[in-house]
Each structure stands twice: as structure tokens, then as C-alpha cells.
């Protein structure tokens, strides 16, 4: 089975896609979606994380708005829908759902009790927030937007936080990106990396702005952080 239900507040539940490794005991990575939902790109990311020897679980964070959103970045209509979902998204409830997913992740069959997050775009912002607000063992943020608004709590980060920043991110102004890089130096748990000449979503394989070199470097840093924290 590649889906499980996660209990939410109020007696409701939401779906989460799960990809499992071949090893018997593994750390768990909560994969946090982009504004396109838990689509094929996110599921493929989960499968690749599973190939690295981790259990990967991607919760449906748009379930309160629309369940099982599955769109891409390939058409204007899909982008319009994605931004409508983003604008309707409640970050506080999203963090509550992620904390519920993290707690469930630690007790999944085959889990070793260690769990972290990795997020992209919308998920990149949420991974940064989870680093500040949860007991996650490691957090990785890919091209999160609006991270400069979260810097007041960067001192609360107590586990490794890796921040991947696109140097030409069209959704995150240069001034805000620079503030994140500067603030990261105030906390030894935080490492921020900037990738030159790439745009938002440079690590989305098959995406319109995918950059193989930057993605490979970023993914290597991510892999090292996950292994160090979750094995």
C-alpha cells in the first residue's frame, strides 16, 4: 500500500503517500509538497529518497481546500489553480498537519524513530517553519519563499537546517535572500547555500527551470544531512 491516513484534529484525517526502502529499519523523511500538490514529481522524489534507504512520506496538505491535488507547472491553467490553492492555504493548520505526520512517521512499521523534513517551494517555507517549531531531527528547505519573514525565530532552530537558495529566484527578492544568508550565520545549526544562475524550482526534475548541476550539488548536501541525522 502506498497511501496511509494521518489523523488530524477534530476527528478528521488526510492522506499521505509513502515510499519504502528495502532495508528493515530506516529513518523517515517527511516530504513537503509544492503548490502543485502531491503530484508525480513529489511521488518520484519520495521514491528516490526511498532508494537512498529512508522511508519517505508526503502528506496531502491541501486536503482542507481540495483533496488529492495533482497538477504540474506545464500550463497557465495549472499555475492559476496552484496560486489559488496557495492563497487559500492556512500555514498554521499546515504546520499542525506536518507535526501530526512527523509524529506518525516515527512509529511507522520499519521506522527507527528518527524523522526529518524536506520541502520544496511552499514546502521549503514549511520545512523552515518546522525547524523553528517542531522536534524534527533534520530539516531541508529548497527555494522556500518569504523566509526573511521567519528570521525572528531562527534562534529556535535546534537541529540541522539546510537552506537551498536559487540566486535568480523570481518569487523571492534578492534582498530577502541575502537576509536569510546573513541570519543563517548566527546559528550553527543552519547552513544556507546559494546556487548561481538558477531560478526557482531548479531541483524539480522535469520542471521548466530544472538545472542538473545545481540540483546534483544541492541533493548531495541534502543526502549527507539526512544520513547524518537519520541513520
Instruction: Note the pLDDT tens digit of each residue in 27-68.
Output: 999 999 999 999 999 999 999 999 999 999 999 999 999 999
* pTM for the whole structure: 0.97
What SS3 class is residue 195? strand
* 189 in active site: no
Question: Catalytic annotation on 15?
Answer: no
Looking at per-residue pLDDT, the higher value among 132 and 9 belongs to 132
- % pLDDT > 70, the chain: 100
Rg for the chain, CA atoms, rounded: 16
Q: Tell me what pLDDT residue 1 has.
A: 55
> Are 205 and 215 in contact, with CB atoms under 8 Å apart?
yes
Give the pLDDT confidence score for residue 152 in this predicted structure. 97
The domains located in the chain, with CATH, are 3-230 (3.40.50.1820)
The active-site residue, picked from 60, 137, 169, 211, is 169
Exactly one of 200, 209, 211, 231 is catalytic; which is it?
200
The DSSP string of 122-190 is: HHHHHHHHHHHHS--S-EEEES-SSGGGGGGGGGG--S-EEEEEETT-TTS-HHHHHHHHHHHTT-TTE
Amino acid at each position: 500500500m502506498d497511501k496511509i491516513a494521518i489523523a488530524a484534529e477534530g476527528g478528521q484525517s488526510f492522506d499521505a503517500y509513502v515510499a519504502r526502502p528495502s532495508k528493515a529499519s530506516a529513518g523517515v523523511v517527511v516530504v513537503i509538497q509544492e503548490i502543485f500538490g502531491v503530484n508525480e514529481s513529489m511521488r518520484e522524489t519520495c521514491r528516490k529518497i526511498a532508494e537512498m534507504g529512508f522511508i519517505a512520506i508526503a502528506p496531502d496538505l491541501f486536503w482542507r481546500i481540495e483533496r488529492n491535488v495533482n497538477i504540474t507547472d506545464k500550463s497557465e491553467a495549472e499555475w492559476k489553480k496552484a496560486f489559488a490553492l496557495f492563497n487559500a492555504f492556512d500555514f498554521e493548520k499546515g504546520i499542525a498537519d506536518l507535526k501530526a505526520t512527523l509524529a506518525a512517521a516515527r512509529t511507522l512499521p520499519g521506522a527507527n524513530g528518527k524523522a526529518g523534513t524536506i520541502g520544496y517551494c511552499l514546502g521549503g517555507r514549511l520545512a523552515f517553519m518546522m525547524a523553528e517549531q517542531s522536534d524534527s531531527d533534520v530539516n531541508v528547505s529548497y527555494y522556500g519563499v518569504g523566509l526573511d519573514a521567519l528570521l525572528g525565530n531562527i534562534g529556535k532552530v535546534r537541529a540541522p537546517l539546510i537552506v537551498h537558495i536559487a540566486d535568480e529566484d523570481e518569487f523571492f527578492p534578492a534582498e530577502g535572500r541575502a537576509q536569510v544568508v546573513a541570519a543563517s550565520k548566527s546559528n550553527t545549526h543552519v547552513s544556507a547555500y546559494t546556487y548561481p544562475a538558477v531560478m526557482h524550482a531548479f531541483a524539480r526534475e522535469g520542471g521548466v527551470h530544472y538545472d542538473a548541476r545545481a540540483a546534483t550539488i544541492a541533493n548531495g548536501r541534502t543526502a549527507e544531512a539526512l544520513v547524518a541525522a537519520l541513520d
